[in-house]
Amino acid sequence: MASTNSSSAPQIAGHLLVECLAAQGVTHAFGVPGESFLAVLDGFHAYRDRIQFVTNRQEGGAAFMADAHGKMTGRPGVCFVTRGPGATNASIGVHTAFQDSTPMVLFVGDVAADQRDREAFQELDYGTFFGPSTRGMAKRVERIDDPARIPEYVARAFATAMNGRPGPVVLALPEDMLVKATGARPLPRVEPVAAWPDPHAMQQLRELLLAAKKPFVIAGGTGWTQASAQALQQFAENWKLPVGNAFRFQDTFDNHHPLYAGDVGIGINPKLAARVKDADLILALGPRLGEMTTSGYTLLTPPKAAQTLVHVHSGAEELNRVYHADIAIQASMAVAALALLRDVPAPAEVPWAAWAEAAHADYEANMVPQPLPGAIDMPAIVALLQKHLPADAVLTNGAGNFASWVHRFFRFHGLAKGHKTQLAPTVGAMGYGVPGGIAASIVSGRTAFTIAGDGDFLMNGQELATAVQHGGKSIVLLLNNGMFGTIRMHQEREYPGNVSGTQLANPDFAALARAYGYAGVRITRTEEFEPQLLAALERGQGTLIEVTLDPEVISTRGTLSAIRQAALKDGK
């Protein structure tokens, strides 16, 4: 029977809050305990048969795990942190959820009401810090002062996080409020509201498609379901449309499909970049068309792109914000492709079949690697991942050039197969991959694989202890080249030969993993990888495989020396 907000036997507010989360279908909450929300921790104890509180080692890792949960499930990931430093540590995950359009709710224990506005211990103005805006960190920031209104605030937070453009909501919890008694009851589970596109806009889109010669689809963003991804695939097949996936949304459209053209993101295939520029019609289905997807706003030039642009997005505030679209359509990604399939019927023939075939051929040609130095063949290692990882495996990464090996050479099966399989921060936050993979393992039980760099791993590697404590099992492939590689690459381009601030003195990563309770191994040759991967897949515990990578191998397309020489040739 659905819960109501009518009064019943009083309980302390901290317990009611956890009960409200259970009513919203929350199964996991991630966080670091703090004295400011002890009453909530006691509530998690009381409701431990319904919600698992995952104890993290740092609030940034907890917020990343909540973001990963939101990406996987489409419902808000939940994170609890204490006031002040706990909130500021968690802000990296909130910022990630905002730019990635991930539903999330961050609860922050706060100072008591009678201490507010005195700069009490760890006091912070969360409305100012997380400030809702188009350039802020949260969609909404509120403080719950009345325990009887907890059900209202929680339900509104979940609705705000999921509706329109999804994103994070922050709720501050005064510690004295959490111990007060209340007879309030949870509100029913909130479901996202589906916004269907304007039928007239669908007719206009069909007219533009019929007039096009070189159309191209860029698919991505959040809110997709298996049904909507399948509808996109059928729509593309009906119209014979080439499809590229937006930056770090590579599982939106099946990479094995003959209409797939590649990922439109960092390190884009030069031929794909030229094709996007040469298209006469771009159907952007879901992505924000941010800096990474547009190669620094060069593939499409704002404010009015040279290509005819049809932009479909779930948030009205995003449409016509950067790019003035020829047709702007507000629609939820859960239904947008279904509407396209229903309302935009394809003709018997289209004139761009060769264009679509060439787009896929360019993608296949881009899968052939360039020769690079060293004893580790990264394309061969990715091919082994493709061979041995289950089709529903979740692949995670943080930020760094190391991620480009998976981005370029791994073929994601896509949401049409029924699973979210890529978790990666479009905001470019380092340290995401390890906690993201652990969250995926804990929440779904599926195989979780993380690729990390040495600098990236050291930002949240301590969360391996969280995995061991809570039954998580991930496989971490750690590429160790002794530096912050992405910044070193840019350094060589701008200041060739001048190395400053990018070198790393690293620990023994395999030994460190073993200290946390993972299996830890190190390989120095390609042929050593396959048996270690197979052992990791069979092992009952998580595994870290450290790969000693030649520092020269800085990207999938070139070396540090080649970048330096080119910069020197240009007179830098």
Q: Report mean pLDDT in 10-residue bins for the chain, 572 residues.
A: 60 98 98 97 97 98 98 97 97 96 98 88 89 80 97 98 97 97 97 95 98 98 96 98 98 97 96 98 97 96 97 96 97 97 96 97 97 96 98 96 97 92 96 98 97 97 98 97 94 93 96 98 98 97 97 94 92 82
Q: Which residues pair with 323 in a beta bridge?
A: none
* Element containing residue 231 per DSSP (H, E): helix 226-239
**DSSP state, 415?**
G
**Per-residue pLDDT at 133:** 63
**Per-residue pLDDT at 571:** 86
Q: Which CATH architecture describes the domain 378-569?
A: 3-Layer(aba) Sandwich (3.40)
Tell me how far apart the alpha carbons of residues 82 and 93 are, in angstroms, rounded to a whole number: 15
CATH number of 11-181: 3.40.50.970
**Per-residue pLDDT at 6:** 55
Backbone angles phi, psi at 266, to 5 degrees: -65, 140
Whether 439 contacts 108, CB under 8 Å: no
Q: How do beta strands 11-12 and 181-182 pair? A: antiparallel
**Per-residue pLDDT at 134:** 62
Place of tokens 């006091």: 123
Q: Where are the domains of the chain?
A: 11-181, 199-366, 378-569
CB atoms near residue 277 (< 10 Å): 17
**Per-residue pLDDT at 122:** 86
Q: Which CATH architecture describes the domain 199-366?
A: 3-Layer(aba) Sandwich (3.40)
CB atoms near residue 408 (< 10 Å): 23
Tell me how far apart the alpha carbons of residues 306 and 539 are, in angstroms, rounded to a whole number: 53
Domains 199-366 and 378-569 share a fold: yes
**Which contacts qualify for 379-385: CB closer than 8 Å, 24 or more apart?**
379/405, 379/409, 379/556, 380/526, 381/405, 381/477, 381/526, 381/529, 381/547, 382/406, 382/409, 382/410, 383/409, 384/529, 384/530, 384/533, 385/410, 385/449, 385/533
